[in-house]
Structure 1
């Protein structure tokens, strides 16, 4: 069994995976070492991996290294091997979550070009081409980030959050913000998908991240919406390093 930790901007997601299947999943706004130790005691994983958007919480590392037969850190382990190659000119600055999501999508569809859209605090658009080469990608502000930016950097615009019904045109300031932000992201996503399909007609599009369900039904193109890409990718990295 593998212990997978995905430390994001707002929470740490934990998955315990056995033979590629999740047997436990949870998100912790603040994960304490004793909670982590209790999970290890209960499930007894042999291997583990962590990926963080910043750096892993130092309170966890001694525990993980002591209690697991093998522990990998995607942030600072120079010996870690990836099943895909990276074409990024500054791989040290490439988000670990972006690498993991790319590996996860490639694990599911290795035979076709891939566009991976991760809709979280930021929205990332990454491209992987067969036989498994990460070409690069772009970063854009996420849904909540855009709402906060309009509120924080203006004097009078209110702070709002997403709603299910989005008008074509706002007739109140709140509706104008909602429609402008949501439709702006939808047009942006559709634009990236159209460019990808123009270059690679058989490309598969994966949509992941916390806001993936919100946007999936609003896009013109069929996507593979999955909240599991990051942990699937991290689990595949464990398996790949175990095989070496």
Structure 2
């Protein structure tokens, strides 16, 4: 039994896996880390390993305090991954993006894969059918777009995520929602169209905190799974142990 933990920029997600199946998924704030991990390990006392992917500002020591209960593992750039890293600056590629690429490679063999992670930032990661990781793109996520409009202008309000009533915003609030949400959807569909025009035998994987909100609004057919990174952590850990 394995506990996987994804430390993001805004929150933490965790899941307990047994035989490749998620038994339970947890979502909590960073200040709840010690309490929540303790609760999970008490609920699943036969967990043998704690596997961590982190892009957030939490020190390793916070996890190492659980070493008396489980074996703690942190993925690094030196680990073995199931793809060939063709990124021009491989050491700067985020571990979370590497884990997503590994999961896509293992779960969808012999296909061209585009992984779209819609969280604080939205990342695009492309792995071709020969298991070459070629790169992708990074842009602001939905929340960052709302915050940028508020923080870098004098009078625009800070709004919560909401689907606009129309493409033509008839008020300042509706104009912001239209620009942020519709612009976001157009961006994703535009990237997908560009990849599909250049590659066949293609699958698109949408994940991240905003995946469910976006899934029904995209024109392209996608495989949506908000827990794909947690599943990829489990799969990549199993792959590493088989090498």
Report the TM-score, using the length of structure 2 for normalisation. Answer: 0.92
Per-residue CA shift, 1:130-170, capped at 9, x if unaligned? 23221101000000100000000000011112223441111
- Aligned twin of 2:173: 174
Report the TM-score, using the length of structure 1 for normalisation. Answer: 0.92
Per-residue CA shift, 1:159-202, capped at 9, x if unaligned? 11222344111110111111011111111111111111111122
Q: How far apart, in 2, do the equivalents of 1:212 and 1:32 lie?
A: 24
- Aligned twin of 2:48: 46
- Aligned twin of 2:113: 114
Aligned length, in residue pairs: 241
Per-residue CA shift, 1:200-230, capped at 9, x if unaligned? 1221111111111111111111100111210
Q: How far apart, in 1, do the equivalents of 2:147 and 2:164 lie?
A: 20
1:66 alignment partner, SS class: coil
**Contact map agreement 1:5 1:13 (CA 8 A) in 2:** yes
Stretch of structure 1 that moved more, 218-227 or 57-66: 57-66
**Contact map agreement 1:50 1:56 (CA 8 A) in 2:** no
1:16 alignment partner, SS class: strand
- Is 1:63 paired with 2:65? yes
- Aligned twin of 1:20: 20
Q: 1:48 to 1:83 in 2, by over 3 A?
A: farther
Map of 1:190-209 to 2, 5 A cutoff?
190-209=189-208
Q: 1:11 to 1:197 in 2, by over 3 A?
A: same
**Contact map agreement 1:100 1:229 (CA 8 A) in 2:** no
**Contact map agreement 1:204 1:223 (CA 8 A) in 2:** yes
2:110 alignment partner, SS class: coil
- Aligned twin of 1:141: 140
**Contact map agreement 1:7 1:50 (CA 8 A) in 2:** yes
Q: How far apart, in 1, do the equivalents of 2:67 and 2:224 lie?
A: 34
Aligned-residue offset at 1:66 = 3.5
Mark the runs of 5 or more structure 1 residues left unpaired by the alignment: none
Q: 1:13 to 1:60 in 2, by over 3 A?
A: same
Aligned-residue offset at 1:243 = 1.2
Q: How far apart, in 1, do the equivalents of 2:36 and 2:142 lie?
A: 31
2:122 alignment partner, SS class: strand
Q: What's the C-alpha RMSD, in Å, of the aligned pairs?
A: 1.7
**Contact map agreement 2:164 2:174 (CA 8 A) in 1:** no
Q: 1:67 to 1:223 in 2, by over 3 A?
A: same
- Aligned twin of 1:4: 4
Aligned-residue offset at 1:119 = 0.8
- Aligned twin of 1:216: 215
Q: How far apart, in 1, do the equivalents of 2:230 and 2:12 lie?
A: 12
Mark the runs of 5 or more structure 2 residues left unpaired by the alignment: none
Aligned-residue offset at 1:37 = 3.0
Q: How far apart, in 1, do the equivalents of 2:126 and 2:54 lie?
A: 21
